[in-house]
């Protein structure tokens, strides 16, 4: 009997593994494929959570929030005071801390007291600078945490961070409180009151009014998922992450409120620290929800990462050289043909290569000062100098030396002078073979199969690129 039960369990586990990892749902109807796709996304998020790194990021944000919360609210309070909407801050804080019950009201009162006592006008330029630096450090931590969920290693520059964060800090509160004020004004309007007196319109309106706070939470999460990652996030995936985070926020808030009601023993154990501990726990849960929603939006936009089946490609030296030449050729072609500047995502789509491979090649080209990126939120790439001034030999040398460090781990001494001489001969052979060939020559002469010759080809006849018919695993460079 036990053996039969064990067989059933193993069978269920096998079906579970097949459905979440191996089943090809490409040709399935959407109503059958959608539940499996959602289950795979949730399984990927749970796997990320069990690895502990997401939880560590959330705990780090809790610490930064404690340092930055009052300065952030002080700046927002000063901005809102100019619009006469500063009185709306306390009700919003009360709503965010509602799961804490009476302790939430106590914390809100303390925070508002700190904010009102902080006079930004008497801080002076140095004090105001430190205040802004504290707030920007919180925004930077949030960006890095969301970038981690999106597998992004390149962060915004300081100038980008300052301008973008300042926009959010100044404009964000005005938009939020304006939306809240407009909603409240509409609800209190006489015409709306007369209209809602008619049944069943009144009941429908009351139910719709209860959904408005939830919709505002979903909109706030969606905005963060679009704005914070240092990449282009489509509205659909961001909305999916925002909806998931909003639902999870409501559910966790209800459970946490029930926990607080039955946590009288914590007051006896921790005394005055009980309120602080519950506040820290709620902050941690809030940041964890935000990061899990970011993971959802990432997996919706990048389904190849689901289930842990995707791992960044490990390129051989030859493949890295081919990727560098392919990316540089594509950027140079766009430069000469006056096409829109390409982002990393656009290059990956155009060349049909993984985004990780494109980013690695762009890193090589940036370090070699062959390309430069724009300062946009989604950076685009263009040649750092005229392509005819960059030789193919230089790019190949940059690709071969990428990641090389003079750490003493591999130094050519007296016993290895023959190896050093061989490496020098190899470098000279590459230089002699390709030093006369520029990126301009590569862009015009290395055409894809079936591609017509460009009418805008320069008068100079470039050196032809001969390389045989063998491919470098990434396409013929």
Place of tokens 């990462």: 305
pLDDT of residue 455: 44
Render pLDDT for 4-25 as a digit per residue (tens, 0 to 9).
666 666 666 666 666 666 666 6
pLDDT of residue 337: 81
In a domain, 18, yes or no: yes
pLDDT of residue 453: 47
Domain check: are 79 and 197 in the same one?
yes
In a domain, 285, yes or no: yes
In a domain, 353, yes or no: yes
pLDDT of residue 17: 64
Which pLDDT band holds residue 85 (cuts at 50, 70, 90)? low
pLDDT of residue 432 exceeding 80: yes
Radius of gyration of the chain (CA): 29
Distances 169 to 78, 116, 155, 400 between C-alpha atoms, Å: 11, 18, 19, 44
Please state, for a pLDDT cut of 70, what percent of the chain lies above it. Answer: 69
Cis peptide before 200 (omega within 30 of 0): yes
Which pLDDT band holds residue 83 (cuts at 50, 70, 90)? low
Which pLDDT band holds residue 387 (cuts at 50, 70, 90)? confident
- 273-301 helix and 30-50 helix, angle to the nearest 10 degrees: 130
Domain check: are 138 and 236 in the same one?
yes
Which pLDDT band holds residue 326 (cuts at 50, 70, 90)? very high
Which of these ranges, 47-61, 180-194, 247-261, has the smallest mean pLDDT? 180-194
Render pLDDT for 60-76 as a digit per residue (tens, 0 to 9).
899 888 888 877 777 77
Q: What would the two tokens of residue 376 be? A: 């946009």
Domain that holds residue 102: 58-304
pLDDT of residue 477 exceeding 50: no
In a domain, 467, yes or no: no
Sign of CA dihedral 93, 94, 98, 103: positive
In a domain, 476, yes or no: no
pLDDT of residue 324: 92
Which of these ranges, 151-155, 165-169, 257-261, 320-324, has the smallest mean pLDDT? 165-169
In a domain, 460, yes or no: no
**Domain-ending residue, one of 14, 33, 50:** 50
pLDDT of residue 360: 87
Domain check: are 143 and 201 in the same one?
yes
What's the average model confidence in pLDDT over 422-447? 81
Q: When comparing pLDDT for 86 and 397, which is higher?
A: 397
Which of these ranges, 83-92, 240-249, 367-376, has the smallest mean pLDDT? 83-92
pLDDT of residue 446: 46
In a domain, 310, yes or no: no
**Domain-ending residue, one of 304, 334, 349:** 304
Domain check: are 336 and 377 in the same one?
yes
pLDDT of residue 293: 95
DSSP of 270-322, one letter per residue? Answer: HTTHHHHHHHHHHHHHHHHHHHHHHHHHHHHH-GGGGGG--------HHHHHH
Domain check: are 127 and 273 in the same one?
yes
Provide the greatest CA pair distance for the chain.
Answer: 96
pLDDT of residue 272: 63
Distances 273 to 115, 143, 276 between C-alpha atoms, Å: 22, 31, 5
pLDDT of residue 237 exceeding 90: yes
pLDDT of residue 288: 94
Q: What would the two tokens of residue 285 be? A: 């849960």
Q: What span, in angstroms and rounded, lies between the C-alpha atoms of 474 and 320?
A: 9
Max mean pLDDT range (206-220, 344-358, 410-424): 344-358
Render pLDDT for 389-407 as a digit per residue (tens, 0 to 9).
888 988 888 888 877 765 4
What's the average model confidence in pLDDT over 465-473? 35
Domain check: are 340 and 218 in the same one?
no
In a domain, 465, yes or no: no
* Chain center to CA of 239: 14
pLDDT of residue 157: 73
The domain total for the chain is: 3
Average model confidence (pLDDT) for the chain?
76
Q: When comparing pLDDT for 314 and 411, which is higher?
A: 314
Domain check: are 44 and 126 in the same one?
no
pLDDT of residue 475: 44
Domain check: are 36 and 120 in the same one?
no
Domain check: are 296 and 273 in the same one?
yes
For residue 357, which of 395, 326, 398, 396 has the smallest C-alpha distance?
Answer: 326
Which pLDDT band holds residue 468 (cuts at 50, 70, 90)? very low
Note whether 324 and 358 are within 8 A (CB).
no
pLDDT of residue 296: 95
Q: What span, in angstroms and rounded, lies between the C-alpha atoms of 228 and 231?
A: 8
Which pLDDT band holds residue 284 (cuts at 50, 70, 90)? very high
**Domain-ending residue, one of 33, 50, 67:** 50
Domain check: are 161 and 294 in the same one?
yes
Domain check: are 238 and 104 in the same one?
yes
What's the average model confidence in pLDDT over 244-256? 91
Which of these ranges, 177-186, 297-306, 324-333, has the smallest mean pLDDT? 177-186
DSSP of 342-388, one letter per residue? Answer: EEHHHHHHHHT--HHHHHHHHHHHHHTTSEEE-SSSS-EEEESS-GG
Domain check: are 75 and 175 in the same one?
yes
Which pLDDT band holds residue 199 (cuts at 50, 70, 90)? low
CATH code of residue 363: 1.10.10.10
- Residue 327: other Cβ atoms inside 10 A: 31
Q: When comparing pLDDT for 218 and 313, which is higher?
A: 218
Which pLDDT band holds residue 186 (cuts at 50, 70, 90)? low
Sheet of 342-343, strands arranged across: 342-343, 380-383, 371-373
Which pLDDT band holds residue 248 (cuts at 50, 70, 90)? very high
């Amino acid at each position: 009997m036990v053996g039969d039960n064990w067989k059933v369990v193993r069978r269920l586990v096998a079906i579970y593994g097949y459905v979440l990892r191996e089943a090809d749902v490409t040709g399935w109807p959407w109503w059958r494929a959608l539940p499996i796709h959602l289950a795979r996304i949730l399984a990927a998020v749970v796997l990320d959570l069990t690895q502990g790194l997401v939880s560590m990021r959330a705990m780090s944000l809790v610490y930064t929030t404690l340092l930055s919360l009052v300065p952030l609210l002080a700046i927002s309070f000063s901005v809102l005071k100019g619009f006469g909407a500063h009185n709306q801050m306390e009700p919003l804080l009360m709503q965010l801390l509602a799961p804490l019950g009476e302790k939430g009201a106590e914390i809100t009162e303390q925070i508002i007291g700190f904010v009102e006592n902080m006079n930004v006008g008497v801080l002076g330029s140095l004090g105001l600078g430190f205040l802004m630096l504290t707030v920007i450090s919180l925004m930077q931590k949030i960006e890095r945490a969301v970038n981690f969920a999106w597998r992004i290693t390149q962060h915004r520059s300081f100038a980008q961070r300052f301008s973008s964060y300042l926009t959010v800090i100044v404009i964000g509160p005005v938009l939020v409180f304006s939306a809240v004020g407009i909603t409240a004004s509409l609800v209190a309007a006489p015409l709306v009151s007369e209209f809602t007196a008619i049944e069943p319109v009144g009941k429908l309106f009351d139910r719709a009014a209860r959904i408005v706070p939830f919709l505002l939470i979903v909109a706030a999460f969606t905005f963060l998922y679009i704005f914070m990652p240092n990449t282009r996030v489509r509205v659909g995936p961001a909305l999916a992450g925002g909806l998931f985070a909003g639902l999870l926020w409501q559910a966790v808030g209800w459970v946490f409120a029930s926990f607080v009601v039955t946590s009288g023993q914590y007051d006896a154990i921790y005394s005055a620290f009980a309120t602080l501990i519950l506040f820290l726990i709620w902050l941690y849960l809030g940041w964890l929800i935000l990061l899990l929603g970011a993971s959802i939006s990432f997996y919706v936009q990048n389904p190849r990462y689901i289930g842990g089946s995707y791992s960044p490609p490990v390129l051989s030296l030859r493949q890295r050289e081919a990727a560098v030449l392919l990316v540089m050729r594509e950027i140079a072609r766009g430069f000469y043909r006056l096409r829109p500047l390409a982002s990393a995502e656009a290059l990956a789509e155009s060349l049909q290569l993984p985004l990780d491979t494109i980013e690695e090649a762009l890193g090589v080209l940036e370090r070699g000062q062959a390309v430069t990126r724009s300062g946009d939120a989604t950076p685009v790439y263009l040649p750092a100098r005229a392509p005819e001034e960059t030789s193919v030999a230089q790019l190949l040398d940059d690709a071969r030396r990428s990641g090389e460090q003079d750490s003493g781990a591999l130094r050519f001494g007296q016993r290895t002078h023959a190896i050093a001489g061989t490496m020098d001969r190899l470098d000279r052979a590459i230089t002699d073979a390709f030093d006369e060939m520029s990126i301009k020559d590569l862009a015009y002469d290395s055409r894809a199969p079936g591609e017509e010759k460009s009418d805008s080809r320069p008068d100079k006849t470039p050196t032809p690129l001969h390389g045989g018919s063998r491919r470098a695993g990434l396409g013929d460079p």
